[in-house]
Amino acid sequence: MKITNKHNLPTPYVNCIINDPYSHDGDISMTTLIKPPRIVQLTLRHFNDIERDVMDYWKITLGNAFHLLMEREAIVNGFTEERVKAKILDLWVSGQIDMYYADDASIVDIKTTSLWSIIYGGKSDWEKQLNGYAYLMRDVGFPVDKLQIFYCLTDWSKTQQKRINGCPKNPLGLFDIPLWPEEKQLQYLEERVKLHQECRDLPDNELPFCTPEERWERPSAWAVKKGENKRALRVLDTEEEAQKWIEKYTGKDGDKLWIEHRLGQSPRCENYCDVKYFCNQYEEMMTKIMFGEDE
């Protein structure tokens, strides 16, 4: 991977990005296992052609710094940053456990994240990741009865807390993650291992497309708006529904209502994917947008 410094950031920061000591033990890490196989394979195959600027690592750097602060203190009745692994089918799957508390058999994972992640009930990847960790821990002899996220909200403020419904009262806190039955955990891990193995020998353009969930898709919508107002009166799933809503609208005489088509978006593809320029799925999506077609 080519690391650039287009914004002329200080050398110590650049070096901490370039010299990241992270490594995983085993054939595949839990964080890689839950990623879309298309992204994993394209990253492996085009790694030397991928370019990323050190500025793009700023959120990762904040997360690493928070982890280091936690590591600095001893965790009573537990341990910090322990890596465990288990054989799933014919692959060793490894995971790095941030905190484990023996007194209540709980795994706590540290996340620096947006307050919206908590408001919307957590990210689906958190549930998959922590349940994977739970299986690995049980496999090496540690009971697991509880899963939690210890979050640090990077965009929290007192103003946001007062203004946004459901905003956490504090920037730090614990968030509970549902614990699956052990059978479900193993089934999920085996399905992911099989999927990643099946993709190893597929050509780039035959890799399974990332799902809407994996692309963080925001579906197309039709917004009913009035005059020059920026905010919509109502946002609906289809143009037909929007038209019917207008017909039933009981506003003042003279109101001019119109429909704005908001094309669906895939934020992960557009803003957070290192391999989009090697991806035929992304190319097809951009072609549809360019020619005004909806998915």
Domain with CATH 3.90.320.10 in the chain: 2-206
Q: Is 176 helix (H, G, I), strand (E, B) or coil?
A: strand
The Cα–Cα gap between 236 and 261 comes to: 10
pLDDT band for position 260 (cuts 50, 70, 90) = confident
In this predicted structure, the answer to whether residue 152 has a pLDDT above a threshold of 90 is yes
In this predicted structure, the answer to whether residue 219 has a pLDDT above a threshold of 90 is no
At residue 253, the pLDDT reads: 47
Choose the weakest-confidence range: 119-123, 143-147, 185-189, 253-257: 253-257
Its sign, for the CA torsion 240, 243, 245, 247, is negative
pLDDT band for position 127 (cuts 50, 70, 90) = very high
Q: Which helix (H) or strand (E) holds 172?
A: strand 172-177
Q: Is 101 helix (H, G, I), strand (E, B) or coil?
A: strand
In this predicted structure, the answer to whether residue 262 has a pLDDT above a threshold of 80 is no
Average pLDDT, the chain: 88
Q: What is the pTM of this model?
A: 0.84
Please spell the DSSP secondary structure of 68-122, one letter per residue.
HHHHTS--TTEEEEEEEEEEETTEEEEEEEEEEETTTTEEEEEEEE-HHHHHTT-
pLDDT band for position 295 (cuts 50, 70, 90) = very low
The Cα–Cα gap between 285 and 283 comes to: 5
Each residue of 86-120: pLDDT tens digit? 999 999 999 999 989 989 999 999 999 999 899 88
Q: Is 148 helix (H, G, I), strand (E, B) or coil?
A: strand
Higher pLDDT residue, 294 or 24? 24
Does domain 2-206 correspond to CATH entry 2.40.30.260?
no
